Amino acid sequence: MTDFSRRDVLKLTLLASTAVLTTAVSAPTNAADLPALTETDPVGAALGYKEASSKVDVKKYPNFKPDQYCNNCKLIQGDAKSLRRPCSIFPGKSVAAKGWCAAYVKL
């Protein structure tokens, strides 16, 4: 089982704080206007972002559950019917509705 280190928790807290501050000063944008977050994006990769939650490395992220994906994460924004939506963790990018990352928070 992989445990988050104190450093990982601090990084996630800093990322989330930055995202909240960014979100506070700018309303969510239409995801169609945003570039897609990629799995190779440095922050995305650090959080294990996958475009399809079915591709999550369950050995690396043992807390992942098959019913977790961006569309039912508390941090997603925008229109629930869109295939790509803004996410408060990745300001200025869109994430896949069926994607997932380690910052997932159950809705």
Binding residues for ligand SF4, rule: CB under 6 A, are 49, 70, 73, 75-76, 87, 89, 95, 99-101, 103-104
Query: Cα(2)–Cα(57) distance, rounded to whole angstroms?
Result: 11
Toward ligand SF4, which CB reaches closer, 34 or 76? 76
Query: Cα(44)–Cα(35) distance, rounded to whole angstroms?
Result: 13
Minimum separation from the CB atom of position 2 to ligand SF4 (A): 17
Minimum separation from the CB atom of position 102 to ligand SF4 (A): 7
Asked if residues 103 and 12 have their Cβ atoms less than 8 Å apart, the reply is: yes
Could you tell me which residues are beta bridge partners of residue 36? 94
- Retrieve residue 90's tokens: 């990745």
Toward ligand SF4, which CB reaches closer, 3 or 89? 89
Minimum separation from the CB atom of position 73 to ligand SF4 (A): 3
- Retrieve residue 45's tokens: 């990769």
Toward ligand SF4, which CB reaches closer, 7 or 43? 43
Asked if residues 100 and 65 have their Cβ atoms less than 8 Å apart, the reply is: no
Minimum separation from the CB atom of position 49 to ligand SF4 (A): 6
